[in-house]
């Protein structure tokens, strides 16, 4: 079957799978950003906490995605929760590291000056530290986002609709058309996300400087 015929027949299904993939990506990236920034801030504030959290996150990061999915099935079952929870963890480490390193690189004199002006810890975090580390954090988010776009194709292996469904169909049926469509859309989505976040990172850098 040609590309044109396949798209004509299965066009609605392709759009549905693309929408599902984008939805899963948005949920996973949002969770990774919240958890990564929270843990990165805590590690910077409470240094000994890093010795407990970072090794665990490193192990999860090094663990193959398909293994995480397999281990999650007995606890979370087959479905969106079983797919998203183990996979969004893969996006936490770049954001965590960049948040912690960004906060550590802030000139201590800026913090002392803010304290001297009577600012509270929360005011310093939101008004001084957050704007200063924003470009670094966005760089971590960009790495995480591109990685999540790719690994989310594996959700098809546990019955969750995504662009990985097309890839899996192509492999199982020895049909290059859905395989190339699924792979191509995934690559296009990854490139688009990368350039959008790169532009946001540059904009934030100009604002800081």
How many domains is the chain partitioned into structurally?
A: 1
Q: Given this model, what pLDDT does residue 85 score?
A: 76
User: Which residue is it, tokens 């594996």?
Assistant: 154
Q: Given this model, what pLDDT does residue 32 score?
A: 92
Residue 62 has a CB neighbour count (10 Å cut-off) of 8
Residue 178 has a CB neighbour count (10 Å cut-off) of 24
Tokens of 195: 């350039």
Sign, CA torsion 78/81/85/87:
positive
Residue ranges of the chain with pLDDT lower than 50?
Answer: none
* Selection from 140, 176, 143 nearest residue 6 by Cα: 176
pTM of this prediction? Answer: 0.87
Domain limits for position 131: 3-208
Alpha-carbon Rg for the chain, nearest whole angstrom, is 20
Q: Given this model, what pLDDT does residue 208 score?
A: 66
Q: Given this model, what pLDDT does residue 209 score?
A: 62
CATH number reported for the structural domain that contains residue 188 in this entry: 1.10.3720.10
Q: Given this model, what pLDDT does residue 87 score?
A: 76
Q: Given this model, what pLDDT does residue 1 score?
A: 65
């Amino acid at each position: 079957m040609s590309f044109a015929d396949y798209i004509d027949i299965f066009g609605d299904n392709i759009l549905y799978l693309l929408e599902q993939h984008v939805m899963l990506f948005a949920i996973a990236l949002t969770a990774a950003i919240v958890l990564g920034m929270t843990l990165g801030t805590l590690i910077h504030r409470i240094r000994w906490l890093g010795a407990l959290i970072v090794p665990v996150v490193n192990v999860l990061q090094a663990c193959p995605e398909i293994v995480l999915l397999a281990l999650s099935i007995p606890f979370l079952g087959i479905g969106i929760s079983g797919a998203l929870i183990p996979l969004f963890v893969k996006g936490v480490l770049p954001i965590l590291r960049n948040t912690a390193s960004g906060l550590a690189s802030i000139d201590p004199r800026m913090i002392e000056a803010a304290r001297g002006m009577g600012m509270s810890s929360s005011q310093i975090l939101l008004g001084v530290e957050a704007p200063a580390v924003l470009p670094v954090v966005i760089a971590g988010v960009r790495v995480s986002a591109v990685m999540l776009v790719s690994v989310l194709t594996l959700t098809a292996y546990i019955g969750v609709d995504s662009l990985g469904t097309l890839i899996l169909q192509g492999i199982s049926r020895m049909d290059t058309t859905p395989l190339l469509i699924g792979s191509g859309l995934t690559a296009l989505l990854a490139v688009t996300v990368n350039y959008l976040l790169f532009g946001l990172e540059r904009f934030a850098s100009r604002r800081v400087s």
